[in-house]
Amino acid sequence: MFVFLLKQLPIGLILGVVIIAAGLQFIGVDLIGMGSDLLLDLLGVPDWSGDWLGSLL
């Protein structure tokens, strides 16, 4: 079943997206960081990276 699922994946598209993301990461565009920040925002997790004391007050 696993082999069947692997055959259904569009390998070319996935490889293209990975190459584009790696290229953007190389020039300084942090897609993984932006994606994880977006996911945490959607889940309602508070952002502790900034002024954490000010956010507690």
Place of tokens 């002024």: 51
Cα distance between residue 38 and residue 32, in whole Å: 10
Cα distance between residue 42 and residue 27, in whole Å: 27
Q: What is the CA radius of gyration of the chain?
A: 18
Read off φ and ψ for residue 14, nearest 5 degrees.
-60, -45
pTM of the model: 0.50
Q: What does the pLDDT read at residue 28?
A: 86
Q: What does the pLDDT read at residue 12?
A: 87
Instruction: Please list the pLDDT of the chain residue by residue as tens digits (57 residues).
Output: 777 877 888 888 888 988 998 898 888 888 888 888 888 888 888 776 665 555 555
